[in-house]
Amino acid sequence: MFTLALRKFEPVLVLFALQCHMRNVMLHFNMKKIERQKAKELLAKSRIKLLQESERLQILETSYYFLDRSYCSDDDNFEEYIEELIRENGNLPTLNKQTIKLIKDQEYLNQPFNKGLEPIFLEALIDELYGVTNDYIENLLNKEEKPNFKVIGEVEKMGTCPCCEYNSIGYGEDGFCDICTICFWENGPASANHMSLVEARKNFQELGAISKDSLKFIDPAGKIKYKKNEA
């Protein structure tokens, strides 16, 4: 009876399926390829507008060691010191003279919405996407932008966490002492973690982190941000 009824609607269903298929084909062709660095910049630019004061202050206080005046003993040369740092280290954002003066006078924490500081926030937001998969960036981007982007380009080289085996820590020496955001294992001796690696792995399988207490520190999106090392 049901089959008969279904058969009656069959042409409609076939047509519907065909329409869905055609739509997917069209979407695929409409996909716009974008380099991952460009995609990160687009995302950072749209996210900067949403940054709260507390988030801005946190970035200023923690991410940028060059904002700390104690690194330059010579007061008179502070501006030159900052300019030189920016020139030498390709990863630091370029700042204008007024912003450097703001830092020199230690006024930057009082003005977290000062436009001159935007390059610092932009850099920090881009840096948050270091080592994440192209799929992850693509999903974020396609949520915010109309066209369907296809993110291309090589993911930065990452280190593999010895506990959960995701590529979630810095590569080589950079990853030493890094705390994995997926399982909360600290990449170092077992003593730093107060448990053996075997124990930590078992806990990760059973609890989702190296211990019950660490569950609140892990990144819920971690597993979709980073790739699991299949090797």
Q: Which residues of the chain form contacts with Zn ion (CB under 5 A)? A: 161, 163-164, 180, 182-183, 185
Q: Which residue's CB is nearer to Zn ion, number 99 or number 211?
A: 211
For the chain, how big is the Rg over CA atoms in Å? 24
Q: b/e string for 26-64 if b means 16 or more Cβ within 10 A?
A: eeeeeeeebebeebbbbbbeebeeebeeeebeebbeeeb
Query: What does 117-139 look like in DSSP terms, one character per residue?
Result: GHHHHHHHHHHTTTT--HHHHHH
What is residue 58's three-state secondary structure?
Answer: helix
Q: Which residue's CB is nearer to Zn ion, number 147 or number 220?
A: 220
Amino acid at 170: G
Q: Which residue's CB is nearer to Zn ion, number 151 or number 161?
A: 161
Q: Which residue's CB is nearer to Zn ion, number 151 or number 163?
A: 163
State the minimum distance, in angstroms, from the CB of residue 184 to Zn ion. 7
Q: Which residue's CB is nearer to Zn ion, number 138 or number 178?
A: 178
Q: How far is CA 110 from CA 96, 106, 120, in A?
A: 18, 8, 15
Return d(Cα 82, Cα 175) in angstroms, integer.
27
State the minimum distance, in angstroms, from the CB of residue 175 to Zn ion. 11
Closest C-alpha among 76, 82, 80 to residue 94: 82
State the minimum distance, in angstroms, from the CB of residue 204 to Zn ion. 7
State the minimum distance, in angstroms, from the CB of residue 58 to Zn ion. 23
State the minimum distance, in angstroms, from the CB of residue 168 to Zn ion. 6
State the minimum distance, in angstroms, from the CB of residue 154 to Zn ion. 22
Return d(Cα 101, Cα 111) in angstroms, integer.
13
Tell me which H or E stretch contains 150.
Answer: strand 149-152
Q: Which residue's CB is nearer to Zn ion, number 80 or number 156?
A: 156
